[in-house]
């Protein structure tokens, strides 16, 4: 008898990294004492977008899956403020009853929804829509509304939708306030950056006050003084206009409004603006010429400018730079990807024109209320103030500006219900906490599908069953809708029988019911989950809602789907697409495009680019007369809060031990500044802003500009027993930020430009 000497290797199972929007395909091996640990992780070669790529972060994803603050039972707040565990029937009944009471007394629009999905868990948003519909909840927001809504608004006005760019094939790559080496945002970021940097015929341009890891690879690094990006971008665009470098013929064919905007750019005093941002005029002009003469430019703006002064204007100038040089709709430039779900526009508000928040009347962009305004929508006696809140996969008490005021607002609500995996800062304030399955214990997916011309979708199957007593958000929302008396049980039964009879019968029955009961459509996700979830392949139950997504995308993206192999009449293509999603655990290509398709996707009324945004032209002109931003002598430093570093992600990993470096989240400052303050490497300083103060260790970094300091994101979360027994490690940036420091158009916060004072501690 042969005795085997080696155990067979554990199977590698496909899933995705959930630590940034890229959601790279990974494969994991499960192990540990209970077989539930993610013990080995590698990039998945079979994933069609990431193609084996993964950065260092997912190697320690088990810190998420096996986090010690995992919740396992529903919690209810007692009158004394402590929590007690309750059973699920009680939790569902009481939560449904209390939300219904708010709806029936004050109106459903006083019930505010926040979150709906973190990085890579977008299916809960689809199921949450059903609960919101039953409650009549009309207003919502998420962390996107403190980052990207300025860009969405600008893009919507100019192009009729958002754009991404083709960095794999560009001659010039431009990153504005972005460090993709750590913040990623483009597929296979480090591979692509190195390829561009190695090729002498290509050019990598970075605009960033800091010498970031991406800037170190750059051919041209422009370092504006913190907060002066708008002047630099205006100088770049104005140089192109004033030197006659715009793509005139291309603009004549595709653009509108040039006559309105060009005089404003002709009037820009380039030399003065370069002096303002502290960059030699010759370098700025050379950079503008390099962009203008390139055969293709791919460009990406990010939080360095989008959470900074003049953020919406900076987004506008950046889009002008792209469009005035004709860098759209050809390889290596900007594109409009096919989408499975219309993102950032349409739905409940579109670009926000005409729809405003109920109390402050702030612009709603992409359906989202500005995060900085949420406390003002609660802390008031206005009759339409938000009185109840459902928070799902979000942590506003930690992640939104002015943490103390945000907490005051959350505590002032009549009802706060939090759906989450772990005990977050927001959950600690809740009336009820409803725990759910982790991202690896249910089927999940992202709708951030931005590839082009081959756009990808990845339905991840559950790797594990949830711990006893837990289930997914799909099941939770189905139970809430049932408790609210809105689940059409006969319809569910009829659909279930139809599915078992055949796909054509199911489709016919679904549309027959929808025609007879239009109010059923917003509940579609939970109806589908109840009807067919348990009939889908193992680990795919939560994919039920995707059947409905496929029905809507098939007629909307008919040609793109057909090129990817999903041809035929839309209903049949939709079913084929749904089956393919279920059959491809490593991900699949759902849409294939040609570059001409980008022009057909320009979503403005006349199908042309609109170069003028009249509301922003006065702000552009105003740069010339805006007083020099002399630092307040009381707060002489500029703090950039929320830097992405090698071991920062977001607050879903709470255990500081996951960070191999920079465990305490040091304040980075220039050695010269440290010398003046009187602190050395590892020493501690007192960091004070107009809103708060914190003690923080210092890391000396000559990559920082003197006068500019930075803190990482994702720290300052509660984790009892962290290093040294501390309950909280690092500084929560929003203990230092003010809700009033925000963009006047989009309401996005200026976290990258917080006036600060630093003293040796
Ligand atoms: S780039 Fe890194 S953090 Fe982002 S999804 Fe991929 S592996 Fe995860």
239: left (phi over 0), alpha (psi -120 to 50) or beta: alpha
Q: Are 220 and 295 in the same domain?
A: yes
537 DSSP assignment: S
HSE-CB at 520 with a 13 A cutoff on CA atoms is 20
Nearest to 123 by CA among 666, 600, 545, 590: 545
| Residue located nearest, by CA, to atom 2 of ligand 1 | 55
Question: Which ligand 1 atom is at minimum distance from the Cα of 50?
Answer: 6
Query: Is 144 part of a structural domain of the chain?
Result: no
Q: How many residues does the chain have?
A: 761
What are the average pLDDT values for consecutive 10-residue runs of the chain, which has 761 residues?
Answer: 63 96 96 94 97 94 90 96 97 98 98 91 95 97 94 96 96 98 94 98 98 98 97 98 98 97 98 97 98 98 96 98 98 96 57 78 95 98 97 96 97 98 95 97 96 96 96 98 97 98 96 94 97 98 98 95 96 97 98 96 96 97 84 92 86 84 91 97 95 96 97 87 73 94 95 96 88
Q: How far is CA 420 from CA 86, 216, 257, 359, 526, in A?
A: 16, 39, 47, 28, 19
| Tokens (6 digits) for 514 | 């929808």
Gap from CA of 26 to ligand 1 centroid (Å)? 9
Q: DSSP string spanning 337-360?
A: ---SS--SSSTTTTT-TT-B-TTT
Q: How far is CA 19 from CA 185, 307, 473, in A?
A: 11, 20, 20
Q: How far is CA 55 from CA 119, 329, 552, in A?
A: 16, 30, 34
User: Which CATH number do you get for residue 27?
Assistant: 3.30.200.210
Question: Which ligand 1 atom is at minimum distance from the Cα of 23?
Answer: 5
| pLDDT attached to residue 354 | 66
Give, for ligand 1, the residue of 38, 41, 58 to mutate: max count of ligand atoms closer than 8 Å to Cβ: 58
Query: Is 185 part of a structural domain of the chain?
Result: yes
Q: Are 641 and 661 in the same domain?
A: yes
Query: Is 351 part of a structural domain of the chain?
Result: no
Question: Which ligand 1 atom is at minimum distance from the Cα of 649?
Answer: 3
Pocket of ligand 1 (CB under 6 A): 17, 19-20, 22-24, 54-55, 57-58, 184
Give the containing element (helix H, strand E) for 640.
strand 637-643
Question: Which ligand 1 atom is at minimum distance from the Cα of 19?
Answer: 3
Number of domains into which the chain is organized: 4
| Residue located nearest, by CA, to atom 6 of ligand 1 | 24
| Residue located nearest, by CA, to atom 7 of ligand 1 | 54
User: Which CATH number do you get for residue 730?
Assistant: 2.40.40.20
d(CA 438, CA 61): 12
Q: Are 164 and 307 in the same domain?
A: yes
Q: Are 175 and 300 in the same domain?
A: yes
| pLDDT attached to residue 650 | 78
Query: Is 377 part of a structural domain of the chain?
Result: no
Query: Is 520 part of a structural domain of the chain?
Result: no
Residue finishing a domain among 5, 32, 65? 65
| pLDDT attached to residue 725 | 66
3-state DSSP call for residue 86? Answer: coil
Q: Are 568 and 662 in the same domain?
A: no
- Radius of gyration of the CA atoms of the chain, in A: 26
Nearest to 530 by CA among 590, 474, 603: 474
Gap from CA of 185 to ligand 1 centroid (Å)? 9
Q: Are 320 and 279 in the same domain?
A: yes
Q: Are 269 and 315 in the same domain?
A: yes
Contact present, 708 and 670 (Cβ < 8 Å):
yes
| pLDDT attached to residue 345 | 58
User: Which CATH number do you get for residue 550?
Assistant: 3.40.50.740
Q: Are 111 and 209 in the same domain?
A: no
| Residue located nearest, by CA, to atom 4 of ligand 1 | 20
Gap from CA of 220 to ligand 1 centroid (Å)? 26
Show the domain range for 658. 637-760
d(CA 715, CA 729): 7
| pLDDT attached to residue 724 | 66
Q: Are 125 and 194 in the same domain?
A: no
Q: Are 694 and 615 in the same domain?
A: no
What's the predicted TM-score (pTM) here? 0.95
Biggest alpha carbon–alpha carbon distance for the chain: 90
Give, for ligand 1, the residue of 26, 51, 54, 121 to mutate: max count of ligand atoms closer than 8 Å to Cβ: 54
| Tokens (6 digits) for 238 | 């104005």
Q: Are 462 and 563 in the same domain?
A: yes
Question: Which ligand 1 atom is at minimum distance from the Cα of 26?
Answer: 7
Query: Is 112 part of a structural domain of the chain?
Result: yes
List CB contacts of 365: < 8 A, sequence separation 6 or more.
Answer: 145, 149, 150, 152, 153, 156, 349, 351, 352, 746
Matching residue, tokens 């290797």: 9
| pLDDT attached to residue 80 | 96
Question: Which ligand 1 atom is at minimum distance from the Cα of 119?
Answer: 5
Gap from CA of 262 to ligand 1 centroid (Å)? 40
Q: Are 167 and 199 in the same domain?
A: yes
d(CA 308, CA 317): 14
Query: Is 27 part of a structural domain of the chain?
Result: yes
3-state DSSP call for residue 301? Answer: strand
Query: Is 519 part of a structural domain of the chain?
Result: no
């Amino acid at each position: 008898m042969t005795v085997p000497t080696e155990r067979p290797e554990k199977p590698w199972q496909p899933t995705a990294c959930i630590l940034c929007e890229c959601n790279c395909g990974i494969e994991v091996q499960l192990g540990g004492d209970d077989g539930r640990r993610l013990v080995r992780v590698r990039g998945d070669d079979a994933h069609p977008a990431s193609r084996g790529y993964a950065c260092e972060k997912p190697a320690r994803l088990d810190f998420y899956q096996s986090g010690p603050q995992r919740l396992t039972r529903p919690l209810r707040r007692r009158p004394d403020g402590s929590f007690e565990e309750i059973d699920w029937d009680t939790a569902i009944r009481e939560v449904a009853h209390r939300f219904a009471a708010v709806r029936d007394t004050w109106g459903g629009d006083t019930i505010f929804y926040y979150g709906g999905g973190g990085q890579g868990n977008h299916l809960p948003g689809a199921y949450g829509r059903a609960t919101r519909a039953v409650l009549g909840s009309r207003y919502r927001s998420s962390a996107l509304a403190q980052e990207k809504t300025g860009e969405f608004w600008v893009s919507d006005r100019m192009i009729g939708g958002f754009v991404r760019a083709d960095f794999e094939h560009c001659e010039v790559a431009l990153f504005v306030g972005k460090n993709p080496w750590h913040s990623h945002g483009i597929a296979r970021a480090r591979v692509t950056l190195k390829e561009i940097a190695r090729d002498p015929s290509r050019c990598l341009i970075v605009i960033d006050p800091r010498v970031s890891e991406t800037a170190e690879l750059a051919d041209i690094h422009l370092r504006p003084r913190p907060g002066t990006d708008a002047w630099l971008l205006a100088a770049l665009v104005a140089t192109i206009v004033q030197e006659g470098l715009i793509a005139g013929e291309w603009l004549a064919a595709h653009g509108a409004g040039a006559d309105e905007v060009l005089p404003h750019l002709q009037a820009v005093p380039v030399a003065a603006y370069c002096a303002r941002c502290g960059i030699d005029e010759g370098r700025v002009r050379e950079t503008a010429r390099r962009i203008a003469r390139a055969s293709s430019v791919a460009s990406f703006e990010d939080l360095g400018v989008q959470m900074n002064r003049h953020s919406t204007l900076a987004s506008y100038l950046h889009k002008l730079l792209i469009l005035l040089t004709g860098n759209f709709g050809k390889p290596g430039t900007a594109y409009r990807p096919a989408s499975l779900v219309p993102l950032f526009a349409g739905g409940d508000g579109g670009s926000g024109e005409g729809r405003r928040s109920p109390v402050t009347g702030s612009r709603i962009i992409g359906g989202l209320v500005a995060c900085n305004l949420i406390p003002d929508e609660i802390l008031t006696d206005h009759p339409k103030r938000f009185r109840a809140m459902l928070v799902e996969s979000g942590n506003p008490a930690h992640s939104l500006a002015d943490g103390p005021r945000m907490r005051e607002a959350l505590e002032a609500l009549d009802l706060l219900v939090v759906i989450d995996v772990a005990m977050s800062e927001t959950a600690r304030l809740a009336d009820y906490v409803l725990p759910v399955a982790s991202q690896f214990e249910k089927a999940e997916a992202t709708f951030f599908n931005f590839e082009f011309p081959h756009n990808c979708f990845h339905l991840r199957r559950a790797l594990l069953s949830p711990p006893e007593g837990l289930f997914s958000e799909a099941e939770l929302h189905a139970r809430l809708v049932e408790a609210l008396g809105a689940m059409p049980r006969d319809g569910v039964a009829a659909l279930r029988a139809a599915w078992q009879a055949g796909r054509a019968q199911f489709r016919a029955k679904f549309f027959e019911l929808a025609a007879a009961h239009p109010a059923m459509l917003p509940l579609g996700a939970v109806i589908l989950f109840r009807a067919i979830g348990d009939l889908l392949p193992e680990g795919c139950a939560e994919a039920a809602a995707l059947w409905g997504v496929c029905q809507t995308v098939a007629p909307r993206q008919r040609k793109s789907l057909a090129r990817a192999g999903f041809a035929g009449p839309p209903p049949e293509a939709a079913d084929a697409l749904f089956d393919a999603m279920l059959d491809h655990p490593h991900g699949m290509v759902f849409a294939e495009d040609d570059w001409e398709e980008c022009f057909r996707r320009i979503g403005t009324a006349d199908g042309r680019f609109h170069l003028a945004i009249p509301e922003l032209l006065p702000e552009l002109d105003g740069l010339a007369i805006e007083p020099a931003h002399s630092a307040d002598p009381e707060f002489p430093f500029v703090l950039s809060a929320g830097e992405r570093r090698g071991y920062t992600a977001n607050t879903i990993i709470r255990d500081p031990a996951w960070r191999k470096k920079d465990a305490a989240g040091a304040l980075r400052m220039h050695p010269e500044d440290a010398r003046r303050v009187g602190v050395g490497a590892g020493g501690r300083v007192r960091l004070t802003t107009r809103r708060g103060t914190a003690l923080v260790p210092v890391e000396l970094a000559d990559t920082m500009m003197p006068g500019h300091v930075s803190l990482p994101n994702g720290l300052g979360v509660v984790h009892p027993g962290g290093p040294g027994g501390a309950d909280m490690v690092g500084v929560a940036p929003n203990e230092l930020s003010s809700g009033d420091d925000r963009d006047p158009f989009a309401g996005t916060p200026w976290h990258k430009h917080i006036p600060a004072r630093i003293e040796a501690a």
